[in-house]
Amino acid sequence: MDQRQPSCKFLIYLTNMSDNRTEVSTLGEFGLIDHLTRNIEIQNASTIVSVGDDAAVIDHFGKQTVVTNDLLVEGVHFDLMYTPLKHLGYKTVVVNVSDICAMNATPTQIILGLAFSNRFSLEALEEFYEGVYAACAFYGVDLIGGDTTSSQKGFIISCTAIGEVAPDKYVKRSGAQKGDLICVSGDLGGAYLGLTLLEREKRIFMESPGVQPDLEGEKYIVGRILKPEARKDIIEFLAAQEITPTAMIDISDGLSSDVLHICKQSEVGCVLYEEKIPIAEETRLAAFKFNLDPTACALSGGEDYELLFTIRQEDYDKITASEQISVIGYITEAEAGAQIITKGGSKHAITAQGWNAFK
């Protein structure tokens, strides 16, 4: 699997695969798990018992264990019309690995639960697992167990990720202090614009089924939504520079929603500078095409899986060693609230406009 370029064809994904289709029922539940996990290679010495028993066993002498879980539901979190299953498998791992990184921990294992209707063939599941294994290899995590079952409708993915961290090195959302600098990795807003583009192309395709989408020139933003990466490299950079952030979260709901999480849990306020928010040129151009404000996309878009964290002012010099990290503001006392200073110099309150699955 190419780690950088997402593939995206409007083939009506699942129909197309019926040429070469093995019914899952021919294997049975246990046969299916055996089949899908037959090539697992263990990468972490702490993985003692893996797939194939009632539970997995992890050895963590002298380390602390970090655990997270995400549930992804077809039609809510992903659309199989434009999401290749291989990318979906990759992203499933990324989303969970990202949560582990956001604790300043190293991801080590994942457990996967899948539920799917009989619309899914064995080949479709294999493709999903190909993406899972590619991400496991890239991030150095072991798939150590899981559960597969049937659903009445759609594809449902449950992923639990486990990581380890030296005692007391984990970073919560609640440790930000007045005067700390607010940092963000990479750039923001791209995933939201990629999704907006794919949704538009889907509408066009639904109206004129012969028309394949023209995604040339938009590879960056499409890649940001279909194949995000978790910033394990940032965790490694912070460790190498001996920086322990005071608070950290990964940006899954959007910068505004996620900075408010840090403010609420740390009982502080913040000031962000619009001009400091990192936005890629491709993202900016795509925003203009859609008549959207790039800053609004960065603030409310979500799904970028970048890391948002706070550091002590004395760590500023060390942070500048990475071009992947931008300082975008600072922490204030709670009474000052959460504010953004626009390029024009005016001040606005930050409100959570993050994605709400229940609306």
Let me know how long the chain is: 359
| Interface stretch with its own copies, choices 55-63, 79-87, 176-184, 218-226 (CB under 8 A) | 55-63
- Can residue 147 be called a binding residue for its own copies (CB under 8 A)? yes
In three-state secondary structure terms, 35 is helix
| Interface stretch with its own copies, choices 104-112, 266-274, 288-296, 336-344 (CB under 8 A) | 104-112
- Can residue 21 be called a binding residue for its own copies (CB under 8 A)? no
Q: What whole-number distance in Å separates Cα of residue 320 and Cα of residue 309?
A: 14
Q: Shortest distance, CB of residue 254 to its own copies, whole angstroms?
A: 13
Token pair in block for residue 247? 């608070």
Long-range contacts at 136-139 (CB < 8 A, ≥ 24 apart): 136/43, 136/93, 136/110, 137/43, 138/3, 139/93, 139/94, 139/97, 139/107, 139/230, 139/232
Q: Shortest distance, CB of residue 302 to its own copies, whole angstroms?
A: 12
Q: What whole-number distance in Å separates Cα of residue 162 and Cα of residue 60?
A: 11
Return the residue matching tokens 């609004």: 296
Q: Shortest distance, CB of residue 61 to its own copies, whole angstroms?
A: 7
Q: Shortest distance, CB of residue 310 to its own copies, whole angstroms?
A: 14
- Can residue 24 be called a binding residue for its own copies (CB under 8 A)? yes
- Can residue 75 be called a binding residue for its own copies (CB under 8 A)? yes
- Can residue 317 be called a binding residue for its own copies (CB under 8 A)? no
Interacting residues with its own copies between 181 and 220 (CB under 8 A):
none
Can you tell me which of 170, 192, 237, 305 binds its own copies, judged by CB under 8 A?
Answer: 170
**The residue type at 167:** P
Instruction: State whether the Cα torsion 199-200-201-206 is positive or negative.
Output: positive
- Can residue 357 be called a binding residue for its own copies (CB under 8 A)? yes
Compose the 149-168 pattern: x for residues touching its own copies by CB under 8 A, - for all others. Answer: xxxxxx-x-x-xxxx-x-x-
